[in-house]
Chains A and B, each alone.
Chain A
Amino acid sequence: MKILVPISKVPDTTSKIAFTDGDSKFSEEGIQWIVNPYDEWYALVRALELVEAGGGTVTVINVGDATSDPIIRKALALGANEAVRVDVNPADSYVIAKEISAYASDKSFDLVLLGKETISYNGSEVGGMLAEFMNLPYISLAAKLEVNGDTATLDRSIEGGSEVVEVKLPFIASAAKGMAEQRIPNMRGIMAARSKPLTVVAATGAEAKTAYVKYGLPAPKSAVKLVDPENMDELVNLLHTEAKVI
Chain B
Amino acid sequence: MSVLIVVDTKNGEVKKSSLEAAQYGANVAASLGGEAVALALNANNAEVLGTVGVNKVLNVTDVSVSASDPQKVVAAIVAAANQVGAKVVVFAHDSTGKAVAPRLSAKSGAGLVTNVTSLPDTANGFVVSKNVFSGKAHADVNILSDEKIVSILPNAFSVKAGEGSASVEAFSVDVSGINSGITVKEVKGGDSKVVPLPEAELVVSAGRGLKGPENWGMVEDMAEILGATTACSRPVADIGWRPHHEHVGQTGVAIRPNLYIAIGISGAIQHLAGVNGSKVIVVINKDPEAPFFKAADYGVVGDAFEVVPKLNEAFRKFKAANG
Contact = CB atoms under 8 A, between A and B. Distances in A.
A and B form one complex: yes
Interface of A: 11, 13-17, 19, 37-38, 41, 92-94, 97, 116, 119-133, 137-141, 143, 153, 155-168, 171, 174, 177-178, 208-218, 221-222, 224-227, 229-230, 232-233, 235-236, 238-240, 243, 245-246
Contacts of A225: 297-299
Contacts of A120: 132-133
A128 B141 contact: no
A17 B137 contact: yes
B297 A243 contact: yes
Interface residue SS majority, chain A? mixed
Given A159-B15, A229-B300, A125 B251 contact: no
Given A211-B142, A215-B132, A235-B311, A119 B258 contact: no
Contacts of A240: 318, 322
A210 B111 contact: yes
B132 A160 contact: no
A141 B98 contact: yes
A225 B132 CA distance: 28
Given A132-B103, A159-B95, A161-B189, A122 B114 contact: yes
B298 A93 contact: no
23 contacts: A16-B269, A38-B251, A119-B250, A120-B132, A124-B93, A125-B101, A137-B69, A138-B99, A141-B98, A158-B190, A160-B195, A163-B68, A163-B186, A163-B188, A165-B182, A165-B183, A209-B109, A217-B138, A226-B299, A227-B299, A235-B298, A243-B280, A246-B259
B181 A163 contact: no
A224 B138 contact: no
Given A209-B145, A221-B296, A239-B259, 20 more contacts: A13-B270, A92-B111, A124-B98, A125-B112, A129-B106, A137-B180, A140-B70, A141-B98, A159-B10, A159-B95, A159-B198, A159-B199, A161-B192, A167-B180, A209-B112, A209-B143, A224-B296, A232-B313, A235-B298, A245-B280
Contacts, number: 280
Interface string B101-117: 11111110111111100
A210 to B, nearest CB: 5
Contact count band on B: 35 or more
Given A129-B103, A160-B190, A211-B144, A119 B110 contact: no
A140 B99 contact: yes
A213 to B, nearest CB: 5
Interface in B69-121: 69-71, 74, 93-95, 98-107, 109-115
A93 B244 contact: no
B133 A160 contact: no
Interface stretch (B53-61, B158-166, B301-309): B301-309
A164 B185 contact: yes
Contact of A229 (B71, B115, B196, B306): B306
A155 to B, nearest CB: 8
Given A125-B102, A138-B99, A165-B182, A239 B280 contact: yes
Nearest to A177: B244
A14 B136 CA distance: 11
Contacts of A178: 244-245
- 4 closest A-B pairs by CB: A161-B189, A128-B102, A209-B111, A229-B302
Interface in B282-323: 282-283, 293-303, 306-307, 310-311, 313-315, 317-318, 322
A208 to B, nearest CB: 7
A157 B198 CA distance: 12
Contact of B314 (A159, A165, A235): A235
Contacts of B313: 232
B30 interface: no
B300 A11 contact: no
Nearest to B15: A159
Nearest to B306: A229
Interface string B223-266: 00010000000000100000011010011101000110000000
Contacts of B269: 13-14, 16
B175 interface: no
A27 to B, nearest CB: 11
Contacts of B188: 155, 161-164
Given A224-B294, A243-B259, A119 B134 contact: yes
A141 B105 contact: no
A223 B175 CA distance: 56
A58 B132 CA distance: 30
B182 A137 contact: yes
A229 to B, nearest CB: 3
B111 A128 contact: no
Nearest to A134: B106
B284 to A, nearest CB: 8
B184 interface: yes
Nearest to A161: B189
